[in-house]
């Protein structure tokens, strides 16, 4: 069995490498736009599966694909496109909670399984100075929701309810459960 990660994210690579297993990275170039008329959890699974289906597999390969969004109220937060958008996102989170949803798709040549993982993240009240300082580090722009819990923005977070690694972009616990329960693959 050979693992294939369908993601350019350095954070997902880091998390997957914690398992101590060799893996290859293959990236699918697909349209990741959302159908806003459908439930976010269904759309995020659809996109993860779409990425997985765009990759050719060999017989012994297990493909792992993910897509992550942040949801705050009725707003779906992707990656901020500019400074103003990043500041607006962080102000929206200040003093409240939001959800992080990751779509998961595990695929072999014989089977495809999709699921999603949800984690609630609680931010403390942020000052404009803190928000602008973080945004000026240029860290928000490659992350769904405009922040990384594993870096400086971790100081904004009072608590989380759910999988820490889901907030980073790869729900490690759920992935291991899927591999074991659905594919009879025990990584340990």
Query: What's the gap between Cα 144 and its chain centre?
Result: 7
Q: Is residue 126 part of a domain?
A: yes
How many other CB atoms are there within 10 angstroms of residue 42's CB atom?
13
Most distant CA pair in the chain, distance: 53
Task: Determine phi and psi for 184, rounding to 5 degrees.
Answer: 55, 40
**Which CATH number covers residue 29?**
3.90.950.10
Q: Is residue 188 part of a domain?
A: no
Separation of alpha carbons 32 and 184, rounded Å: 30
Catalytic residue numbers? Answer: 67
Q: Is residue 50 part of a domain?
A: yes
CB-based contacts of 112, cutoff 8 Å, min separation 6? 49, 52, 53, 105, 106
Q: Is residue 70 part of a domain?
A: yes
Print pLDDT tens along the chain (188 aa). Answer: 899 999 989 999 999 999 989 999 999 888 888 888 888 889 999 999 999 999 999 889 999 999 999 999 888 998 899 999 999 999 999 999 999 999 999 999 999 999 999 999 999 999 999 999 999 998 899 888 999 999 999 999 999 999 999 999 999 999 999 999 999 999 88
Count of structural domains within the chain: 1
- HSE-CB at 115 with a 13 A cutoff on CA atoms is 19
Q: Is residue 82 part of a domain?
A: yes
Q: Could you list the residue range(s) of the whole structural domain that residue 94 is in?
A: 2-183
Q: Is residue 8 part of a domain?
A: yes
User: What's the confidence (pLDDT) of residue 30?
Assistant: 87
CA geometry: angle 179, 68, 2, nearest 5 deg: 30
């Amino acid at each position: 069995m050979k693992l294939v990660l369908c993601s350019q994210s350095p954070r997902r690579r880091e998390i997957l490498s914690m398992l101590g297993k060799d893996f290859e990275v293959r990236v699918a170039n697909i349209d990741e736009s959302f159908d806003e008329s459908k439930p976010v959890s269904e759309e995020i699974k659809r996109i993860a599966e779409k990425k997985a289906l765009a990759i050719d597999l060999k017989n012994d390969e297990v493909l792992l694909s993910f897509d992550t969004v942040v949801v705050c109220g009725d707003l779906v937060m992707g990656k901020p496109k500019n400074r103003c958008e990043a500041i607006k996102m962080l102000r929206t989170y200040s003093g409240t909670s939001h959800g992080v949803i990751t779509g998961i798709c595990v695929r072999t040549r014989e089977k495809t399984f999709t699921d999603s993982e949800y984690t609630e993240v609680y931010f403390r009240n942020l000052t404009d100075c803190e928000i602008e300082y973080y945004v000026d580090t240029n860290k928000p722009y490659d992350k769904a929701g405009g922040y990384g819990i594993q870096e400086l923005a971790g100081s904004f977070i009072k608590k989380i309810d759910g999988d820490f690694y889901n907030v980073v972009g790869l729900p490690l616990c759920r992935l291991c459960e899927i591999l074991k329960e659905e594919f009879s693959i025990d990584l340990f």
